[in-house]
Amino acid sequence: MTSDKQTYFVTGCAGFIANRVAHLLLEQGHKVVGIDNMNDYYDVSLKEHRLAKLNGFDSFEFFHQDLEDREAVAKILDAHTFDAVINLAARAGVRYSMENPTVYMTTNAMASLYLLEEMRLRGIKKYVLASTSSLYAGQEMPFVETLAVNTPISPYAASKKAAEMMAHAHHHLYGLDISVVRYFTVYGPAGRPDMCIFRFIKWIDEGTPLTLFGDGTQSRDFTFVDDIAKGTIAAIKPVGFEVINLGGGNQPVSLNTIIEKLENLLGKKAKISNKPFHIADIKTTWADISKADKILNWKPEISLDDGLEQCVRWHQENQPWSGNITLP
Ligand SMILES: NC(=O)c1ccc[n+]([C@@H]2O[C@H](COP(=O)([O-])OP(=O)(O)OC[C@H]3O[C@@H](n4cnc5c(N)ncnc54)[C@H](O)[C@@H]3O)[C@@H](O)[C@H]2O)c1
């Protein structure tokens, strides 16, 4: 419990990452007002499971509400005095952004603008925006924040770029203090069922064919969710306007290596079914995290092996209900 109790508006709090952020803030003694529209892009039972973990805190208040409903959000903002808005709600799937690009713009870009405007009108100064390593597609590695990211290869990345740019304009024009945190492939217990680690564990354990896009040599800078949550909370401090990578910062790990590690943890062999590499996917990600260290005094703490073990344990403990989760 900190003596300096703050009140935070956390968007997307039934989501994978925002849920951990909200949980840590509540554990630190802060008040969290959360919002989520509980959309069914992936199995809602997972969102309900996460939300249940926050409902035990007296200082948590939840609104089942769409961020695109500007009036409804304005009412929530009027009912409290917020120290910061932490905007993690988003449409986050890269491949699905080709099927339904419109909702990526309306939620990721437009609703982010609504928030900035409502903050400006109420004098709320601090905004933390979740962005993505997907913006770096095609750039030289390790990805550093100073790279010009002007060639997004998916509607998802383009919508995040729009949100980043509008945030910068609000910093310049109205003095909002903004931290843009670019996350690198986040994984952990109760993770997203559209992402590889959740899917691979389920498929290997159930003995169903594991769909692998490409040959599995594509690699990612995997980052454990608790590390990401800590970095996001560290980014609440005043910075002016900064874009900050939050990533594992190690050499990227291939999907083939991840499969092998999960096979060992589960004691089962994967039956791999290869599909062509997806055009909207990035081949490799690798974060330069020196800026996060310098500005936020942040470094990831959880090793990939420990993190994967926690994911497998969550899967095994929750199997009775999570086994019924349908994959998007
Ligand atoms: N998971 C990753 O590896 C990763 C990587 C880079 C960036 N990010 C970003 O981090 C943030 C959190 O991602 P996540 O992995 O937790 O995804 P998630 O899908 O689990 O969480 C997002 C939450 O936002 C909610 N939401 C979506 N649209 C909404 C709307 N219009 N109104 C209210 N709620 C809405 C969803 O219901 C969901 O619960 C996102 O901004 C995402 O783009 C995630």
Q: What is the pLDDT of residues 51-108, one digit of tens each?
A: 999 999 999 999 999 999 999 999 999 999 999 999 999 999 998 999 999 999 999 9
136 alpha carbon to ligand 1 midpoint, in Å?
A: 19
Does residue 279 surpass a pLDDT of 90?
A: no
88 alpha carbon to ligand 1 midpoint, in Å?
A: 6
Query: Mean pLDDT, to the nearest integer, of 130-139?
Result: 95
Q: Of all atoms in ligand 1, which is nearest to the CA of residue 156? A: 43
Query: Mean pLDDT, to the nearest integer, of 256-285?
Result: 94
Does residue 1 surpass a pLDDT of 60?
A: no
CA dihedral 308, 48, 88, 85 (to 10 degrees): -130
Q: Of all atoms in ligand 1, which is nearest to the CA of residue 38? A: 37
The closest alpha carbon to 124, from 113, 116, 112, 133, belongs to 116
- Residue 265 burial (CB count, 10 A): 19
Report the predicted TM-score, pTM, of the whole model to 2 decimal places.
0.97
Query: Ligand 1: which of 10, 24, 39 to mutate, judged by most atoms within 8 Å of the beta carbon?
Result: 39
**Can you tell me the distance from the alpha carbon of 85 to that of 160, in angstroms, rounded to the nearest whole number?**
17
Question: Exposed, middle or buried, 124 (CB in 10 Å: 0-12/13-18/19+)?
Answer: buried
For residue 223 and ligand 1, the question of a CB distance below 6 A is answered with: no
Whether residue 156 lies in the annotated active site? yes
CA dihedral 305, 295, 239, 91 (to 10 degrees): -20
Query: Please, which pLDDT band fits residue 249 given cuts at 50, 70 and 90?
Result: confident
For residue 246 and ligand 1, the question of a CB distance below 6 A is answered with: no
Which 8-state DSSP code applies to residue 291? H
Which 8-state DSSP code applies to residue 309? H
Q: Of all atoms in ligand 1, which is nearest to the CA of residue 92? A: 43
Backbone angles phi, psi at 268, to 5 degrees: -135, 155
Does residue 281 surpass a pLDDT of 90?
A: no
91 alpha carbon to ligand 1 midpoint, in Å?
A: 6
Task: State the architecture of 7-190+222-250+286-300 in CATH terms.
Answer: 3-Layer(aba) Sandwich (3.40)
**Residue 145 CA to its chain's centroid (Å):** 18
Q: Please, which residues have CB within 8 angstroms of residue 68's CB and are 6 or more apart in sequence?
A: 106, 107, 110, 111, 114
Chain mean pLDDT for the chain: 96
For residue 90 and ligand 1, the question of a CB distance below 6 A is answered with: yes
Strands (E), 117-176: 126-132
What residues does 249 pair with on adjacent strands? Answer: none
Query: What are the helix (H) ranges across 178-238?
Result: 196-206, 225-234
11 alpha carbon to ligand 1 midpoint, in Å?
A: 9
Q: Are 304 and 248 in contact (CB under 8 A)?
A: yes
For residue 232 and ligand 1, the question of a CB distance below 6 A is answered with: no
Q: Which residues of 36-48 are buried (b: 16+ CB within 10 A; e: fewer)?
A: bbeeebbbeebbe
Q: Are 48 and 13 in contact (CB under 8 A)?
A: no
Q: Of all atoms in ligand 1, which is nearest to the CA of residue 131? A: 7
One of 8, 42, 156, 183 is an active-site residue; which one?
156
Q: Which string of DSSP letters, residue by residue, matches 227-254?
A: HHHHHHHHTTS--SEEEEEES--S--EE
304 alpha carbon to ligand 1 midpoint, in Å?
A: 22
Nearest residue by C-alpha to atom 11 in ligand 1: 88
For residue 190 and ligand 1, the question of a CB distance below 6 A is answered with: no
Integer angstrom CA distances of residue 10 from 61, 62, 173: 10, 10, 24
